[in-house]
Amino acid sequence: MAIQLSDHFTYRKLFRFCLPSIVMMIFTSVYGVVDGLFVSNIVGKTPFAAINLIMPFLMILGGFGFMIGTGGSALVAKTLGENERVNANRYFSMLIGFTAICGIVLSVIGILFIRPIAHLLGATETMLEDCVLYGRIILLFNTAFMLQNAFQAFLTAAEKPQLGLYVTVAAGFTNMALDALFIAGFRWGVAGAALATGISQCVGGILPFLYFLRPNTGLLRLVWTKIEGRVLLNACINGSSELMSNISGSLVSMLYNFQLLRYAGENGVAAYGVLMYVQFIFIAVFIGYTIGTAPIISYHYGAEHHGELRNIRRKSYILMGAAGIAMMTLSQLLALPMAKVFVGYDEVLLEMTTHAFKLFAFSFILAGANIFTSSFFTALNNGGVSAAISFLRTLVFQMLSVLLLPIILGLDGIWWAITVAEICAFIISMIFLAAKKNKYHY
């Protein structure tokens, strides 16, 4: 029997409903990692470092789709909980159209300014042309990438998380197959990696669009509607925490790269790139879980089912804590073999990456709880609190840590920075959670 947003969720039912979103995000991360594997092992560590240097900027632009999707799906799911399906379809359609328009505008801006941006990010002469080439090709597909990000959230709100998983698997296999063909076969280098990623994003963005355009068995369908500025503003404000997290994470990555170039040169940037690829896979579990639970929270908030809100909150923190401890332990055990997969060809780089990952791994213990708390407030349509948590966690605390800790600990201070930031963010998250419990009755 299909699971509905209106159900009471046991651990088993929560796991079943969220599993497709978790697997979807893990698979998204894995096929992103494949790009890095091919480029690092076949093209070389300098092009690998170039991709990692320009990637934060590209992720900021794509993050606008995630903002619209998360903020918009919370509004749509809340509207469904209020039993207003016609309005839910109108809001959904308007937000998808707005995502496409934003994608086109941001792509043009990015293509025009990619070279000075690469300079600003600290690209060396040996890295610059690879940064520009990779960035411009990826930006040609930015609209599809933004739609893919938005649809990931809306498919769950439509009670179709399995479809989201199927689409992601199709996009992932497309990317991996084309990586092998373009990089290993045709030897197109970073251009091949960019084309493989861009084409796979078209699969992820266009297939859900075609599904929602036709009559379907989900809760949502694309319809013709006019633009309502108030609805767009509310959705964007509510999803601003996710955009803030994306922008902040990208800005912090730029700062990490700047500090690492200063303390360890290109080897430091390459080592950090490996950490980011592996972190994507681990953090994907937490993000996938929040994508799965957010529409449930929004629905029961709209329906004023306070008992179910308390149930989801309690179970979620238990699950996030257990997953965080498991990930930290697994990271410690697998640090060397995971580093070998990426940089086993360079002994100095391998040693640096393995040591860095063992320190970096402690951040996973509290990351899940912090990510869920931010998502929890987004689902409650409180974008202000959610954005504050994301802003402090991903920007303020990490920037201060990565700037100050190296003064005391040297290079190790950079690897410890994210763990210190997660501890500070956890304290803030618990303060907000306690302060708002009487307002939302969770």
* pLDDT for residue 227: 86
Give the pLDDT score at 32. Answer: 67
Instruction: Compare 30 and 85 and report the one with higher pLDDT.
Output: 85
Within the chain, how many helices (H) and strands (E) appear? Answer: 16, 0
In a domain, 5, yes or no: no
Measured CA to CA in angstroms, residue 119 lies from 39, 54, 116, 126, 254 at distances of: 21, 10, 5, 12, 12
Q: What residues contact 316, with CB distance under 8 A and at least 6 apart? A: 289, 293, 372, 376
% of the chain exceeding 70 in pLDDT: 99
Say yes or no to pLDDT of 164 above 60.
yes
In angstroms, what CA-CA distances link 238 with 57, 105, 168, 208, 374?
Answer: 22, 22, 25, 23, 11
Give the mean model confidence (pLDDT) for residues 264-284.
83
Domain span including residue 248: 11-440
Query: What is the distance between the alpha carbons of residues 271 and 128, in angstroms, rounded to a whole number?
Result: 19
Q: End-to-end CA distance of the chain: give it in Å, rounded.
A: 28
Please report whether residue 1 resides in a domain. no
Longest dimension (CA), the chain: 61
pLDDT exceeds 80 at position 199: yes
Give the CA-trace dihedral at 295, 300, 306, 310, to 10 degrees: -30
pLDDT tens, 380-409?
989 889 889 988 998 899 999 999 999 999
Cα(21)–Cα(129) distance, integer angstroms = 36
Check residue 82 and give its pLDDT.
Answer: 93
pLDDT for position 403: 93
In a domain, residue 232? The reply is yes
**Residue that is written with structure tokens 């609190």 in the block:** 385
In a domain, 4, yes or no: no
Q: Tell me, yes or no, whether 3 lies in a domain.
A: no
Among 170, 145, 219, 153, CA closest to 18: 153
The total number of structural domains in the chain stands at: 1
Q: What is the mean pLDDT of residues 232-240?
A: 87
- Is residue 379 a part of any domain in this protein? yes
Comparing 281 with 420, which gets the higher pLDDT? 420
Instruction: Give the pLDDT confidence score for residue 342 in this predicted structure.
Output: 76
Q: Is the pLDDT of residue 1 over 60?
A: no
**Is position 6 within any domain?**
no
The predicted structure's pLDDT at residue 28 = 76
Separation between Cα atoms, residue 105 and residue 3, nearest integer Å: 38
Task: State the Cα–Cα distance between residues 337 and 354, nearest whole angstrom.
Answer: 9
Task: Please write the tens of the pLDDT for every residue from 166-189.
Answer: 998 899 899 999 999 999 999 999
